[in-house]
């Protein structure tokens, strides 16, 4: 492999992590699955308790999973933002 390809392969995991491609793909698939299951359930002439339970579990687990997705963050990027803010505050104090 060339040096250019090696450099790209070396930084690719960081971009996958930063852009959160896999979690976004999974949440998109969940949204599609939820939509499809709800449409199926609403078209049933007489849904029974097992079918209602399936939809209930799917919605409940998806809500928990989506909460984990939204609340997850990388502390590495938060520290970088805090450092840049601290530097800006120190620069303004020097000017005074």
Please say whether the beta carbons of 41 and 55 come within 8 A. yes
pLDDT at 81 exceeding the cut of 70: no
| pLDDT confidence tier of residue 69, bands split at 50, 70 and 90 | confident
pLDDT at 4 exceeding the cut of 60: yes
Q: What is the pLDDT of residue 36?
A: 95
Q: What is the mean pLDDT of the chain?
A: 76
| pLDDT confidence tier of residue 11, bands split at 50, 70 and 90 | confident
Kindly state the average pLDDT of the residues 7-33: 81
Please say whether the beta carbons of 31 and 63 come within 8 A. no
pLDDT at 51 exceeding the cut of 60: yes
Q: What is the pLDDT of residue 2?
A: 58
- C-alpha 27/C-alpha 51 separation (Å) is 23
The verdict on pTM exceeding 0.75 is no
Within 8 A by CB and 6+ apart from 77, the residues are 18
The residue ranking higher by pLDDT, 40 or 22, is: 40
């Amino acid at each position: 492999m060339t040096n250019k390809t090696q450099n790209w392969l070396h930084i690719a995991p960081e971009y996958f992590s930063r852009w959160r491609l896999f979690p976004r793909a999974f949440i998109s698939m969940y949204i599609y699955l939820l939509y499809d299951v709800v449409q199926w359930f609403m078209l049933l002439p007489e849904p029974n308790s097992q079918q209602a339970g399936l939809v209930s579990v799917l919605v409940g687990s998806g809500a928990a999973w989506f909460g984990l997705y939204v609340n997850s963050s990388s502390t590495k990027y938060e520290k970088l933002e805090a450092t840049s803010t601290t530097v800006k505050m120190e620069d303004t104090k020097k000017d005074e």
